[in-house]
Structure 1
Amino acid sequence: MPLHDLLSRARVAILDGHAIEAGASEGAPALLRVLDAAAWLLADGEDSAPISLALRDRERRASTAIGDGVAVPHARVADIDECRAAFLRVEHPVDFEAADGKPVDLVLALLVPEHDVNAQLQRLAEIAERFADPEYRAALRKARDAGHLRQLLGGSGPDFLPCAA
């Protein structure tokens, strides 16, 4: 399944320090602020607290950083019927305790319906393969704005299609 099938136009963002500060709990570490911002994007205007909690819980168990400045925070959630993704480029890299020690500036957050374990594993493998390409990562880091990021992530229309679970 192409990456753009998981994203909507509103779920691609560039976060500067101010955006991270505004979207998270006061006094929370930068990592939690990024997860909260991802949850807010993934919530599609609904309450983001359960998504934030699920992402934070997963991150507490083990880092979702896959190396080279990329993290894929992910969770299975009971209250959704289709998988969702949000992409954030973080202007000030954040420590996700990656095995390679590199801070993260490219974050692809993924939600999968709770009952669909196979979809989660498949999507994670596809995402890891895509982000293993150093030229792709470099292009994402050089993108001038969120619209350019959407193009690089594969979106071509006015909005992207959700993936069916």
Structure 2
Amino acid sequence: MNIGDLLAPERVTCLPDVSSKKRVLEMLGEMLASHLPRLTQGEIFDSLLARERLGSTGLGHGVAIPHGRLAGADTACAALIKLERGVDYDAPDSEPVDILFALVVPAECTDEHLQILALLARLFSDPETLAQLRSAKGAEDLLALVHQWDTTSHHQP
């Protein structure tokens, strides 16, 4: 599975500071709406927020994977934000989150959704991968790193 194919340059960004978990979810909704014309930013945000109410999508180690399945999504789509200063995210380790990889998939794509989430969880559990992401100098570097995950072996990001 090629995680890089889920992203595009306009859906990858580095930001110095975001005020809250809610605000970063709103920003992810805006980024995803640019690629999902049948969905509004508000619909995407509501889906991400509804999933957060079920339990935090924070993985720990400063990473969160907000996600949702939406009937108006034609294809799987992702957005990536790296924050200079993390936000309080109710993560299991109580650490602030500074890397957010948001994922939206069509409502009927349950298996694909779970496969992508499992792959992301594996990638984001690797300390070296996280160090590379955090040292990225900008959105282009971030996107290049994600594309590298797909060109190396399956167990090594």
**Length-normalised TM-score, structure 1:** 0.84
Say which SS state the counterpart of residue 79 (structure 1) adopts. coil
Q: Say if 2:69 is the partner of 1:76.
A: yes
Distance 1:91 1:38 in 2: 16
Task: Say yes or no: does 1:89 pair with 2:79.
Answer: no
2:141 paired residue number: 148
State the identity %.
40
State how far apart, in whole Å, the 2-side matches of 1:15 and 1:59 are.
22
Q: Aligned equivalents of 1:95 and 1:120: distance in 2?
A: 25
Q: Name the residue aligned to 2:5.
A: 5
Match of 1:31 in 2: 21
Structure 1 portions without partners, runs of 5+: 22-29, 156-165
Aligned equivalent of 1:128? 121
SS of equivalent residue, structure 1 residue 154: helix
| Aligned residue type for 1:148 | D
Residue in structure 1 matching 2:52, options 51, 56, 59: 59
Q: Distance in 1 between matches of 2:94 and 2:42?
A: 29
The amino acid across from 1:15 in the alignment is L
Which stretch of the first structure deviates more once superposed, 43-52 or 104-113? Answer: 43-52
1:33 & 1:126 partners in 2: Cα distance?
A: 26
Tell me the residue number matched to 1:159: none
Inter-partner Cα distance in structure 1 for 2:95 and 2:2 = 27
> In structure 2, what is the equivalent of residue 163 of structure 1?
none
Moved more, 42-51 or 1-10: 42-51
User: How many Å separate the matches in 1 of 2:31 and 2:84?
Assistant: 17
Q: Could you tell me which amino acid in structure 1 is paired with residue 12 of structure 2?
A: V
Q: Tell me, which stretches of 5 or more residues in structure 2 are unaligned?
A: 149-157
Alignment length, in residue pairs? 145
2:140 is aligned with what amino acid? G
Quick check: 1:114 aligned with 2:104?
Answer: no
Shift of 1:60: 1.3
Q: After TM superposition, give the deviation of residue 16 of structure 1 in Å.
A: 2.2
Specify the code of the residue in structure 2 equivalent to 1:145.
Answer: G
Equivalents in 2 of 1:42, 1:112: separation in Å? 11
